[in-house]
Amino acid sequence: MTYHWSRAPMAACFCLVLLFMPLSGCGFNESARRVQTGLLGILDPGATYTVDFWEAFPSGADKDAVEQLAQQYMDQHPNVTINLQAFDSYDTLKTRLTAAIAAHKTPTMAQAYESWAAQYQQANALASLQPYISGKNGLSQADIADFYPTLWRDGQLVGTQYMLPFNKSVEVLYYNTDLLKAAGIKPPDTMSELEATIKKVSKGDGSRWGLSFTPQVDEWATFYKAFGGGDFISADKKMITFSEGANAKSALQAMDDLSPLVDSGAIHITREDAWQNDFTSGKAAFAIGSVSHYPYLLKSTHNKLHIGQVPLPSGPGGRYTSLYGTNLALFSNSDNAARNAAWDFMKFLVSPEANATFVQVTGYIPVRKSAYEGAPLKAFYTRYPERKAGPESIVYGFVPSILPAWDQCRSTITTSYTSALTGQLSSDTALQKMANTCNYALALDY
């Protein structure tokens, strides 16, 4: 921890005693010196650096991609060591980060969801990226404009840039291309078309479902917006608004619209990733999931199933999709020199070239326009045109709330939404349960 002396006479005496010690002994820390000299974020070729990067890519394509990029960066910067610490899940990563912040033993950088970052920023645990962005090794206005606006703004807290977009994704509608082609059916573009198509392709004997998905807060929130819902939380952050006034109608419709199809057996409700088995086995014509699931779906089918993707259907209120994935953040308690190297590594990870590599390996969406429009991804999307549904959906992406209280809301909304779809709760009761839990969580925060 860096201590700043507030009384000038004491500071002056202390500095005289330590006259021949490094300047940081006078309360002038290394970070401040580098800011004033324009060196923040710049690496010294004669120095060595170690960056501890905590992430949640323990296996599969994600792990391969981040390891490949880290090695590529270290090959280009022999004086920098990137230590990847992969945790088995985002929940574990969050738990470990929270404990590390409390113990003042944070990594240099980590993946972070918006609501986590809001909590860490309130605890002064995050380093603002603004000084790095505006420094000599920063980002130009052209660079900033190159990021998709939705994704760039997603990294801001209280008007300040604290994060850069990393493994971002959106939900799309997956479909069995061969099945729809044989039936002479086009992928649905609206909610009413989706419902009609689900009925057409499902089989009454239970041998095929029209749609398989695991209900979560994200699907409910997407349908809520599509049916005309407004904000989720009031501007003063004191109460939820999705159950108030006209919003309540949209909130209920988001639960009620698909319920009859669940009851008839046309939609199969699953738990966790079981929808993937339904879809890859051919038992479900459609599925709802993140674009990041594509490599796993393809691997499960051994490339035998032709998988299509389209943006989620629109409703009377427009077209929406939940914005998934984490951002990259620096921690204020970490070593100053290590943060310089971490910033440089972060810049590398979100560069058009590295981002194009990451997208092709993992299935995540590009975070910069030049990456999407560059030769590598142009060739990639020409080969896999269905995968353009992800980047084409960026403009529809949204995050309901970044407030820490929303984490508690997520769990209750998911269980209540699932119960309403399966007939265990009426939609009115489910909505009231959502509202009560979320309002209680907000009251604790504010």
Tens-place pLDDT, residues 109-119: 999 999 999 99
Q: How many residues belong to the chain?
A: 446
Per-residue confidence at 21, pLDDT binned at 50, 70, 90? very low
User: Rounded to whole angstroms, how far apart are CA atoms 312 and 318?
Assistant: 11
Per-residue confidence at 16, pLDDT binned at 50, 70, 90? very low
The whole-number average pLDDT for the span 421-427 is 97
pLDDT at 12 over 60: no
> Cα–Cα distances in Å, from 298 out to 98, 176, 239, 295, 304?
35, 12, 43, 5, 8
Interacting residues of 21 by C-beta distance below 8 A, sequence separation 6+ = none
pLDDT at 23 over 80: no
User: Rounded to whole angstroms, how far apart are CA atoms 365 and 284?
Assistant: 25
What pLDDT, on the 0 to 100 scale, is given for residue 33?
A: 47
Per-residue confidence at 408, pLDDT binned at 50, 70, 90? confident
Encoded amino acid at 243, one letter: S
pLDDT at 38 over 80: no
Per-residue confidence at 40, pLDDT binned at 50, 70, 90? confident
Interacting residues of 196 by C-beta distance below 8 A, sequence separation 6+ = 188
pLDDT at 297 over 50: yes
User: Rounded to whole angstroms, how far apart are CA atoms 428 and 442?
Assistant: 21
Encoded amino acid at 206, one letter: G
The whole-number average pLDDT for the span 380-392 is 95
What pLDDT, on the 0 to 100 scale, is given for residue 446?
A: 65
pLDDT at 10 over 50: no
Backbone angles phi, psi at 311, to 5 degrees: -55, 155
If you average pLDDT over every residue of the chain, what do you get? Answer: 91
Q: Look at residues 341, 298, 269 and name the one whose alpha carbon lies nearest to residue 107.
A: 341
Q: Mapping DSSP to helix (H, G, I), strand (E, B) and coil, where does residue 165 land?
A: strand
392: which 2 tokens? 């084409």
Per-residue confidence at 303, pLDDT binned at 50, 70, 90? low
The whole-number average pLDDT for the span 52-81 is 97
Q: Look at residues 167, 240, 168, 173 and name the one whose alpha carbon lies nearest to residue 400.
A: 240
What pLDDT, on the 0 to 100 scale, is given for residue 25?
A: 38
pLDDT at 9 over 80: no
pLDDT at 14 over 70: no
What pLDDT, on the 0 to 100 scale, is given for residue 8?
A: 35
Interacting residues of 92 by C-beta distance below 8 A, sequence separation 6+ = 56
400: which 2 tokens? 């309901």
12: which 2 tokens? 């002056």
User: Rounded to whole angstroms, how far apart are CA atoms 157 and 340?
Assistant: 21
199, with CB counted inside 10 A (0-12, 13-18, 19+), is: middle
Per-residue confidence at 296, pLDDT binned at 50, 70, 90? confident
Q: What is the pLDDT of residues 118-166, one digit of tens each?
A: 999 999 999 999 999 999 999 999 999 999 999 999 999 999 999 999 9
- Contact (Cβ atoms closer than 8 angstroms) between residue 209 and residue 283: yes
Nearest-10 Cα torsion for 118, 122, 127, 129: 50
Q: What is the pLDDT of residues 222-246, one digit of tens each?
A: 999 999 999 999 999 999 999 999 9
117, with CB counted inside 10 A (0-12, 13-18, 19+), is: buried
Q: What is the pLDDT of residues 252-264, one digit of tens each?
A: 999 999 999 999 9
User: Rounded to whole angstroms, how far apart are CA atoms 388 and 392?
Assistant: 6
pLDDT at 4 over 80: no
Q: Mapping DSSP to helix (H, G, I), strand (E, B) and coil, where does residue 177 land?
A: helix
The Cβ of residue 305 has, within 10 Å, a number of other Cβ atoms equal to 17
What pLDDT, on the 0 to 100 scale, is given for residue 18?
A: 32
419: which 2 tokens? 């119960």
Q: How far is CA 21 from the centre of its chain?
A: 45
Q: Look at residues 290, 325, 323 and name the one whose alpha carbon lies nearest to residue 111.
A: 325
Per-residue confidence at 37, pLDDT binned at 50, 70, 90? very low
435: which 2 tokens? 């509202």
Q: Beta strands 49-55 and 109-112: pairing type?
A: parallel
